[in-house]
Chains A and B, each alone.
Chain A
Amino acid sequence: MTSTVVASCSRSCFINADPIVHVRRELPKSKRRIRLALETNELLSDPVDAIEVFYHIKNINDPEHPYSLEQLDIVSVENIRVHSEAQFIQVYFTPTVPHCSMATLIGLAIRRKLQESLAGRFKTEVLVFPGSHSSESAVNKQLNDKERVAAALENTNLLEKVNLCLRGNLVL
């Protein structure tokens, strides 16, 4: 991250009323193909890497702040592992505060986005960054139980919330 600014929030009902907001990253020139693919909604034929995965999820909106997961430093390239030989992706995300009750919703949004973007070519594990959440193992267990995830995404209220997060501005 190059610079940080502190956003002020007047509403005190937020779980984290004053999150630190980071600037959006510029897409490296070498990753033009990702930009093209995101714009045209086409699948890339060359191997998926952490940067591509990051660009799929970085503009997901936080459930309660008008900022993206990238701006709140919830997701970063460094915390994405791609095991291409096993067709397996692990995304570690960092909730803004350790007691964040939005953690499962954020994780669910990441799961949903990757499902759509990677069209089932990869198995995904979405986990909270080790030590970043007070109920780390419970959140991880729930986010990686395919039956509970499937049931959650059939719940209209929850699906609406997830879709709101996914409707974030697609700014590259």
Chain B
Amino acid sequence: RVWHCAWDPTGKTLATCSSDKTCRIWAKSAAAGNTWVTVAELEGVHSRTVRQAAWSPCGRLLATASFDASTAVWAQSGSGGTTGEWECVAVVEGHENEVKSCAWSPSGSLLATCGRDKSVWIWEVQPGHDFECVAVLNGHTQDVKQVAWHPAEDALVSVSYDDSIKVWTEDPGGDDWSCAQTLTKEEGGHASTVWCASFEPEPSRHVRGPGGTDSRRLATCSDDRTIAIWRVDDSRGLRLEIDAKFPCGHDRPALSVSWGKCGLIAEGGGDDSVRLFAPPRDAGRGGAGDEVNCVAWHPTDPRCLATASDDGTVRIWSV
């Protein structure tokens, strides 16, 4: 089972995470007829399923979150490219049990992790691959499924088995983190587990924020078979307000969403298909073999999408 896939910031390589305890890095090989081949296998560190991987914004570090309660940080030796050897440079520990997700802040100076112990941890990256915990955020009452940083600011969104979405921001003093907002069914949110959150890459011209400025949006998907779209008010330390909620189009859990630069939201889930939405309208679908655990738009090619599935495959789509 492939649980997750993540493009590096240049889009030249793709990291995939599996229940076989490894993370593989893939690149297109001219020698192999322009097909995708494994260029590195990150193994021997995690003793259980690797659930998610996240590239640092500079593309030089890769963090992997595992059911073994740890998050490993990997770096490529040498000058980089797709040929250097990867080695584990740090193992970040603190969670009581399964780590479900990890994400780097846009500056690359912070790493967030979350897991089944209901907490979200924020780590500061110190020189020499040292990670110092700067905050342990409690507030969710259940398993935290995913963390996602705002693309431009140090503000974090977490989604949970407790059906809620929480927004975490740094206090004005700059020393502590706290929950700025909790979004439940009452605020227009979800009625079951929220699996994934994905920010709109660019502020949208169609959506006006306060003072007439363009406003960014956030998509979340859930076990309740819906996708919710939230308007993000950046000016007030990231406040979310429900914009739309619509069915994901099938009667199975919606496990992953990715908001692409082309303006489309890709959704993958339990019904073995990948669906594309031009919010809030259904735009098309394609067969994916088995349950889709992750959808990820290419960082630079707006028409390229990667998906990871239960049948052990990773597919790269041209939209």
Contacts and interface: CB of A to CB of B under 8 A. Distances in A.
Partners in one complex: yes
Interface of A: 120, 123, 141, 145-148, 150-151, 154
B267 interface: no
A154 B116 CA distance: 14
Nearest to B193: A145
6 contacts: A120-B290, A120-B310, A123-B270, A123-B291, A148-B143, A150-B49
A141 B270 contact: no
Contacts of B291: 123, 146
Contacts of B290: 120
Contact of A151 (B98, B192, B310): B98
Interface in B11-64: 19, 48-49, 51
Contacts of B49: 150-151, 154
A150 B291 CA distance: 14
Contact of B252 (A123, A141, A151): A123
State the 8 A-B residue pairs at the shortest beta-carbon distance, nearest first: A151-B98, A151-B67, A154-B48, A154-B67, A154-B49, A145-B193, A150-B49, A150-B19
Given A151-B67, A154-B48, 12 more contacts: A120-B290, A123-B291, A141-B161, A141-B223, A145-B161, A145-B223, A146-B291, A147-B100, A148-B143, A150-B67, A151-B98, A151-B116
B193 A141 contact: yes
A170 to B, nearest CB: 28
A150 B21 CA distance: 13
A150 B270 CA distance: 15
B145 A147 contact: yes
Contacts of A141: 161, 192-193, 223
A146 B310 CA distance: 11
B245 interface: no
Q: Which of A146, A147, A150 has the most CB of B within 10 A?
A: A147
Contacts of A151: 49, 67, 98, 116
Interface string B245-275: 0000000110000000000000000100000
A120 B311 CA distance: 9
A111 to B, nearest CB: 14
Contacts of B166: none
Interface string B111-153: 0000010000000000000000000000000010100000000
Contacts of A147: 51, 100, 145
Contacts of B192: 141
A126 to B, nearest CB: 14
